[in-house]
Structure 1
Amino acid sequence: MENQETPQEYGENNNDLILWLFYTHIASKIPYALGNSIRQPFLEKLLKKIGSDVSIATNVKLLHPQSITLKNKVGVANGVILDGRGGIDIDEYTIVGFESVILSCTHQHQKKDIPIRDQGMFTAPVKIGKDVWIGARVMILPGVTIGDRSIIGANSVVTKDVAPNSIVGGIPAKFIKDR
């Protein structure tokens, strides 16, 4: 069993902890439509909010799921990591590509005289608009807002907000053209 962080809020409620562990180590591994239908009731209890017709593929890791909202018809591909510590809100018809990572928390690092590990964490919500396509292996950093109908190219690192109807890509992600 791999070492994964359990949500802080689940420490006091054994039923929630068992639910999260079952989802993480069993339900998230079952493939195809059967797996998605088995995952759905777990997601309804684990996530802050989940809309209708949401598709979550195998091996999706949910960290702090109680702060994650997935609206109607969101699709999340295999191997995605959603770290909801600062809050993640993904609007309807958005698809998140294979092995992408959405972070709403990161380490502080401004003080050179204090080890990074001892500087604490920075959290900021991530908001992803409607009908957004996030390509494979994209990383989205805390505090980013991605506008409606945007496309994020594969292997990009999104460090700043993305305007609606934009196509961006690269490291860091930069505007390529209007959609």
Structure 2
Amino acid sequence: MLIRFVIFKNLSLSCGDNVSIHEGVFLKGLNTMEIGTNVSIHSMCYIDGTGGLKIGDNISIAHSSTIMTTGHTYDDISIPIKYNNATMDSVLLEDDIWIGAGCRILSGVTIGTRSIVAAGAVVNKVVESNSIVGGIPAKIIKKI
């Protein structure tokens, strides 16, 4: 874990203290990522920071979760969708957030401070601070 931390700290835009990146985490676009202090990213997560990613302080990202800052267009019908232009849009995770196991955070999303994303949720729009969201697509379950 220490080796992953040292590598991340040297290749990312910024990295706080007490950051744990567990084994089996795939990180793409390190040079456009910022991570705060007291952050844990658990095993089997896929984190794509290519379009810009900022993770605040006191964040826990449970196993098998995905954060995407890229996507695909499908406007050019003369070529397969997979060859259409890619899009990039940043993701911001403010402070004090718990991302449950198996979540998908899509590009362009901001998750507000002191929020919880329930396991298995797909977040495709802004999550207000002090919210618990869940479902596909994620919707507010409760304000906290």
TM-score, length-scaled by structure 1: 0.77
Identity percentage of aligned residues: 38
* 1:129 corresponds to which of 90, 94, 97: 94
The 5 Å alignment of 1:146-165 reads: 146-165=111-130
More relative contact order, 1 or 2 (CA 8 Å, 6+ apart): 2
Aligned residue-pair number? 144
Give 5+ residue unaligned stretches, structure 1.
1-35
AA aligned opposite 1:115: P
Deviation, 1:112, is 4.0
Counterpart of 1:89, as a letter, is K
Instruction: Return the TM-score normalized by structure 2.
Output: 0.95
Segments of 5+ residues of structure 2 without an aligned counterpart are none
Task: Report the equivalent of 2:34.
Answer: 69
Q: In structure 1, how many angstroms separate the alpha carbons of the residues matched to 2:18 and 2:64?
A: 21
Equivalent position SS for 1:40: helix
Greater per-residue helix proportion: 1
Distance 2:51 2:87 in 1: 8
Deviation at 1:47, TM superposition (A): 1.5
- By percentage of residues, which structure has more strand? 2
List per-residue Cα deviations over 1:81-126 (Å, max 9, x = no partner): 1101101100000111111000000111234454212321010000
Moved over 3 A (4+): 110-114
Compare CA radii of gyration and give the structure with the larger one. 1
> What does residue 23 of structure 2 align with?
58
- The residue type equivalent to 1:154 in the other structure is A
The CA RMSD over aligned residues, in Å, is: 1.1
- Does residue 85 of the first structure (1) align with residue 53 of the second (2)? no
